[in-house]
Structures are given as C-alpha cells and as structure tokens.
Structure 1
Amino acid sequence: MNKLIIDVAGDKIFLMIIANDHIYNITHENTKINYEKLTLIIKEFLELNKFELKDINKIYINRGPGSFAGIRNSISVVKALKLAKNIDYYCYSLQDFKGEKDVKYENIPFLCVKFKIKKNLINPIYIS
C-alpha cells in the first residue's frame, strides 16, 4: 500500500511517499505561486520517484493550524483526487496526536489509526 503525505500548512510544502519499506520526500518553498502549482508539484514528485496517481492508495493531509491559502488549496487538491481517482484521504493535525513524543511524518498513517482519525472528513484549522 502506497501512501502520500501532504503538508502545506507550515513554512514549506512537504510531500512524502511511503511505499512498503521505502520513504521518499521533498520540500518546496511555500509561496503563493507554489500553492497554485500544487497539483504539478505533486505530479512531478510522483514521477521523480517512478509513481503515478494510480499507485497511491491513501493520502494524509495536514489540516492545520497554518496558512489559510496553503490549507485551502491542499484540501481542494485532495478532494479533487478523491473524486477523480477515488483515493481515500485522512485530514490530520499535529494537535490530534496529543501525548505523542517526536511525531514524524512517516508515523502519520499509524497515528491516524491509533487516534481514530476519520476517513474523508475535513475540519481545517486556520491561523488568523
């Protein structure tokens, strides 16, 4: 099962693919231009690591707190992927994992199960 983690809530755009025992990740500057190009950035990242959207089984997206524009755009992209490719997604916040020490991106899928994060449910947290 291949998982894609997307975090656009912070200072950087962060993408990670977890595929069996392999982990691939990349960061980009978090700018307005990159928000608008997020689908292209994801596509290029997948291609760079020899994946296609059809290879992704689940997406995990940071719902905040963070940048309104980044969260809004990333959630829109993930909802479109759900509709177009039927890829389930999980919207998490690092605040959901209270009590966990040193939360790492590669642990997000496990933590979403542990903390019972609901599939295909969005409740963004924006910083005013």
Structure 2
Amino acid sequence: MILSIDNSTKKCSITLFKNDCYYTISIIHKKIKNSKILILIKNILYYKKKNIKNLKYIIFSKGPGSFIGIRISFSIIKTFYLIYKIPYIGISKIKSLLEKVWRTKKKKKIIFLISATYKKFYFIQYVKKKKWMKKEKKTYDNEKIHKVCKYIKKKWYILNYINNNIFCTRCKNKKKYIYPDTKDLVSIFLLNKF
C-alpha cells in the first residue's frame, strides 16, 4: 500500500494505491498553504478501513511549488517516518506533470516555460522514449519566447508555469489550470522502482 501526497499547488491531493487500484481525495483552496492535509490522510485511510502502519511507502511532490505547502507535507511525512518507520521519497512535480500529459493527451514532446524573473523564462524541452528525457534547457526573454513558441506550437505541447499555476498555451481559457495528479507520482515511483 502506497500513499501519495501533493500539497505544492492550490490543489491538495492524496492518493492511496492498493492492489492496482487508486483511491484519491483532493481539495482546491484559494490559498496554497493548506493545513487540511492530515484530515485528508485520515479520511482516505478511514474510508478504505486501513491503518497508517499498513503503508509500505509515502511519495510526495518535492516541487517546484509552494514552499509552505511542500514543507507542511514533508513535516507530516517525516513524522510518519520517525514514528512508524515508513520510507518516503520525493518526486519532482515536473515529472508528475509530464506523466499526466502523457496519460491524458498522449503527447511525447512537451515544453515547460517556467518564469525565471519578471522578463525571462526557462525553456525546457522533454521527449518521452521509455522515460522522459530532458532534451534542451535555455533561458529566453519575453519577446524571444513568444517567437519560439509560435514557431514550434504545432509540434510540441507547451505548459506554462507562472506563480505556482500551470496552464497549457493552447487553451483558450488561460484560467484553466493543469494540476499535478498524485496517481502519476505513484506511476513514476512504480516505473522507476526506487
């Protein structure tokens, strides 16, 4: 039995993985700092009539994202480790989002645009072979990034990561955010067999 936690965005999500089944609870808050994570863990374990001592691993999103949200998650996970000796592992939110886009859209070429400063973006290309491979990482200013994205938009799926919000540049409604999924954290963990 594996517990997966993501508290790095406005969507706090918990997944319990047991016998090839995913059980997920999530809530979306206006503020990223979320102290309801313990209630979600309690609820999912209670709903499945399981005890925390039955957990084999705890997986969590280690960012990038809300420092406070990640810190709250890690503090809870570290406490479970100290009391119950449950091993834990952190997985990058970017890997989780890559896996989600692959699972939902079947896209093998994805670009992340991550806001570096007010006028600059990190431009990171990922290609899926057996695993996700980082192809290229560059830094562009606002003007150059628009030109580059316009040119490659048809071949690549582009995700923008600005102020802890992730959205697809193809979406007409820029407020339709894409949140990482805790079941993708479990999939990455199982595929990599840490």
Alignment TM class, shorter chain as reference: 0.7 to 0.9
2:102 maps to amino acid? D
- Residues 1:102 and 2:102 aligned together: yes
Range that drifts further, 42-51 or 103-112: 103-112
Correspondence for 1:27: 26
Percent identity over the alignment is 31
Superposed displacement of residue 21, structure 1: 2.1
- Residues 1:73 and 2:75 aligned together: no
Correspondence for 1:60: 59
The separation in 1 between residues aligned to 2:75 and 2:46, in whole angstroms, is: 21
Equivalent pairs counted in the alignment come to 113
The separation in 1 between residues aligned to 2:26 and 2:10, in whole angstroms, is: 10
1:110 maps to amino acid? L
The two structures have a TM-score, normalised by structure 1, of 0.74
Q: 1:32 to 1:10 in 2, by over 3 A?
A: closer
CA contact (8 A) 1:90 1:112 kept: no
CA contact (8 A) 1:60 1:108 kept: no
Q: 1:34 to 1:52 in 2, by over 3 A?
A: farther
Superposed displacement of residue 32, structure 1: 5.7
Q: Normalized per residue, which structure has more helix?
A: 1
1:70-111 deviations in whole A, cap 9, x for unaligned? 1110000000000011100001103357x8662634413224
1:108 maps to amino acid? I
Gaps of 5+ in 2: 104-183
Alignment of 1:113-128 (within 5 A): 113=193
The separation in 1 between residues aligned to 2:4 and 2:63, in whole angstroms, is: 14
Superposed displacement of residue 35, structure 1: 2.4
Q: Which has the larger radius of gyration?
A: 2
Computed over aligned residues only, the root mean square deviation of the Cα atoms, in angstroms, reads 2.6
2:76 maps to amino acid? V
Superposed displacement of residue 69, structure 1: 1.2
Gaps of 5+ in 1: 117-128
The 3-state SS of whatever aligns with 1:109 is helix
CA contact (8 A) 1:6 1:15 kept: yes
The separation in 2 between residues aligned to 1:51 and 1:41, in whole angstroms, is: 14
The two structures have a TM-score, normalised by structure 2, of 0.51
Correspondence for 1:12: 11
